[in-house]
Chains A and B, each alone.
Chain A
Amino acid sequence: MSSVLYDAQGPRAKRRNVVFTAVFLVAFAALLWWVFSTLNDKGQLEWALWKPFFTGTEAWSTYIWPGLQNTLKAAALAVVIALPLGAALGIARLSDHRWVRVPAAVVVEFFRSIPVLVLMIFGLALFAEYTNVGPDDRPLYAVVTGLVLYNASVLAEIVRSGILALPKGQAEGAMAIGLRKGQVMRLILLPQAVTAMLPAIVSQLVVILKDTALGGAILTFPELLASANTMSGYYGANVIASYTVVAVIYIALNFALTSFASWLERRLRRAKKSTGAVLSADDVETADAGNVGKV
């Protein structure tokens, strides 16, 4: 679409482009200069502050890697638990029985409208008060609980839209050859829907990975972001350097996941095998607000 918004450019448009580029470049350079000079004034560009990350492996092995491990552990646990739960809720929302459909819808809409952080804080207090999980393990449990409750309900919506995106003929054909309801879902609809949902699920992984950082900031969960804080304390207040390194790690991880998702989407769209529409993350988000409260 974007390429049809303007014509092939003639001499005047080209000249105007050059002017815009120059103005933008100047503004951008001014911004960069301001950042650079502020950093320089406060002595944040001194090599001593950045050295731990570029020479030696101590910073990586003592702080960053253990933190990253915890981040990945929490995210992986959350995905593994949330996926089946989300699938069950999503299918329950499509049930023919009102008494299954309505409670599932209520659960999904409830947990989708509450911030993950609130769920995590609740989880932390819950484990402290009602279980004998040790204080060292509680933050991990709380983070995973919060992530599972929220993401299971999001994944439920993804599963539901994936199944609804299949052509009606699939279910009708399956029923016409005498399959029962469970068989239609298990043998016909789900296998096709799962492939269509893959890109959306991978995109949801990015959300989960990003949300683990909440645990580090507020629940004292020792993940990547928390490791940046301890690190900057140890290396003489190199907040800017530590945060830059941590942010780059997050960006690299998430960018890889996002690219994988869009690669999957393109590949699936090209493949002629599946009959349903391929669900990208955008599709699911777009489907949301319109469907809120629909039971």
Chain B
Amino acid sequence: MFDFLQDYDLAGAIWTTVQLAVLSAVGSLIWGTLLAAMRVGPVPLMRGFGNAYVNIVRNIPLTVIILFASLGLNQTLGITLGGGGDFETINFRLAVLGLILYTSSFVCEALRSGINTVPVGQAEAARALGLSFGQVLRLVVLPQAFRSSVVPLANVLIALIKNTTVAAAIGVAETALLMKEMIENEAQLLLISAVIALVFVVLTLPTGLILGWVGKKVAVKR
């Protein structure tokens, strides 16, 4: 019944999905944190940039961003991100770039909602001690904000894992593309779909459960 699976590299496709998710998660966490810092910071220009970035990027479909990365950045402007002439590597890197640019706006929002849960008194007390903005953020507010951002960040991560399928639009050999290929070649629609669905349930459900539990564990009790 599962014979057809031998003809396809399912494990390889899942590995590509995981790689896409992990690399994009790390990248968007960094860029999203920087954006969040800009948005709450005292420099008006950076605040404006952070606001504009989040509001613009959030409202563009990820599909548009990733297709643009391939058709626009790569094929029209010749940007290869150091991938040389190897299309697979280039498209993989472009997909990661697109995912990072898109997801970081949601990371920024999740962190900002975390910062908003820190009581005003914490920051006021820190300022009364004479700490600077950088110190207030680094020593008092962000450590608490990260702890209450675990759950919203987990949701962003789950959405990111699901969004990696969009990379299929530019031919990155990940799970959704393999599914399309298998459906076109085999007459096992329901079985193939069940297998692929199971892959994503296994990838996302435990992530939600574990991080949800961690989130409750580390949340600051108030």
Contacts and interface: CB of A to CB of B under 8 A. Distances in A.
A200 to B, nearest CB: 14
A61 interface: no
Given A237-B76, A243-B72, A289 B215 contact: yes
B49 A28 contact: yes
B154 interface: yes
A289 B212 contact: yes
A113 interface: yes
B58 to A, nearest CB: 8
A1 B151 CA distance: 20
Interface residues of B, number: 71
B127 A286 contact: no
A177 interface: no
A207 B169 CA distance: 18
B46 interface: yes
Nearest to A218: B169
Nearest to A206: B59
Interface residues of A, number: 65
A53 interface: no
A114 B208 CA distance: 13
A288 B155 contact: yes
A164 interface: no
Contacts of A20: 43, 46
B59 A250 contact: yes
B205 A292 contact: yes
Contact of B63 (A38, A114, A213, A285): A213
B155 A44 contact: no
Given A1-B116, A282-B152, A289-B158, A109 B205 contact: yes
Contacts of B79: 38
Given A243-B68, A255-B59, A4 B165 contact: no
B42 A6 contact: yes
A285 B150 CA distance: 12
A21 B168 CA distance: 40
Given A5-B141, A113-B158, A213 B64 contact: yes
B212 A6 contact: no
Given A113-B201, A247-B64, A121 B179 contact: yes
B217 to A, nearest CB: 11
B71 to A, nearest CB: 5
- Best-buried of B78, B79, B197 by chain A (most CB within 10 Å): B197
Interface stretch (B7-15, B91-99, B117-125): B117-125
B123 A240 contact: no
Interface of B: 39-46, 49, 55-56, 58-64, 67-68, 71-72, 75-79, 109, 113, 115-116, 118, 120, 123-124, 127, 132-133, 136-137, 141, 151-152, 154-155, 158, 162-163, 165-166, 168-169, 175-176, 179-180, 183, 189, 193, 196-197, 200-201, 204-205, 208-209, 211-212, 215-216
- List 3 A-B pairs, minimum CB-CB distance, nearest first: A254-B59, A213-B61, A210-B61
27 contacts: A1-B123, A4-B123, A4-B127, A5-B40, A7-B127, A24-B46, A38-B79, A113-B201, A115-B200, A118-B193, A118-B200, A121-B176, A121-B180, A206-B59, A213-B61, A213-B62, A213-B64, A217-B169, A225-B61, A229-B71, A237-B76, A243-B64, A254-B59, A254-B60, A282-B109, A286-B113, A293-B205
Given A118-B175, A118-B197, 12 more contacts: A4-B120, A24-B46, A117-B166, A117-B168, A118-B193, A118-B200, A206-B59, A229-B67, A239-B75, A258-B59, A282-B113, A290-B215
